[in-house]
């Protein structure tokens, strides 16, 4: 942001020098307009990116809490049941 202001200020000063006949006209106004338009687009894209990141983080948290965690809990419970069944089966096989 500061760099943008600095370059715009420099171009404005150069334009004033060109208008005063100190420098040849070199399209300084056109550069100011081009940079200002690009900077406006840049700020808009940054705002969109910030919004996208926030939405992604909300979605990620929701999926982690409402999908992944319950599935892992269910898998752990199932594995505990299967482990208990395996121990009982081993005991029956050992006594048979």
Q: How many Å apart are CA 7 and CA 28, to the nearest integer? A: 11
DSSP 64: I
Percent of the residues in the chain that have a pLDDT greater than 70, as a whole number: 98
How much is the pLDDT for 23? Answer: 81
DSSP H helices, 1-96, are: 2-19, 28-63, 69-95
**CA distances (Å), origin 39, targets 9, 35, 82, 83:** 14, 6, 61, 62
The two structure tokens encoding residue 75:
């898998």
Is pLDDT at 90 greater than 80 in this prediction?
no
Q: What is the mean pLDDT of the chain?
A: 90
- The average pLDDT across 55-69 equals 96
8 dihedral zone (left: phi>0; alpha: psi -120 to 50; beta): alpha
Is pLDDT at 78 greater than 90 in this prediction?
no
- The average pLDDT across 14-22 equals 88
How much is the pLDDT for 96? Answer: 60
- Whole-number CA gyration radius for the chain: 33
User: What is the three-class DSSP state of 40?
Assistant: helix
Q: How confident is the model at residue 52 (pLDDT cuts 50, 70, 90)?
A: very high
């Amino acid at each position: 942001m500061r760099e943008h202001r600095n370059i715009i200020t420099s171009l404005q000063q150069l334009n004033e020098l060109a208008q005063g006949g100190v420098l040849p006209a070199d399209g300084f106004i056109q550069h100011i307009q081009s940079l200002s338009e690009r900077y406006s687009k840049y700020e808009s894209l940054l705002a969109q990116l910030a919004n996208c990141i926030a939405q992604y983080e909300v979605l990620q948290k929701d999926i982690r809490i409402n999908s992944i965690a319950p599935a892992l809990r269910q898998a752990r419970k199932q594995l505990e049941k299967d482990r208990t069944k395996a121990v009982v089966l081993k005991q029956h096989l050992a006594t048979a």
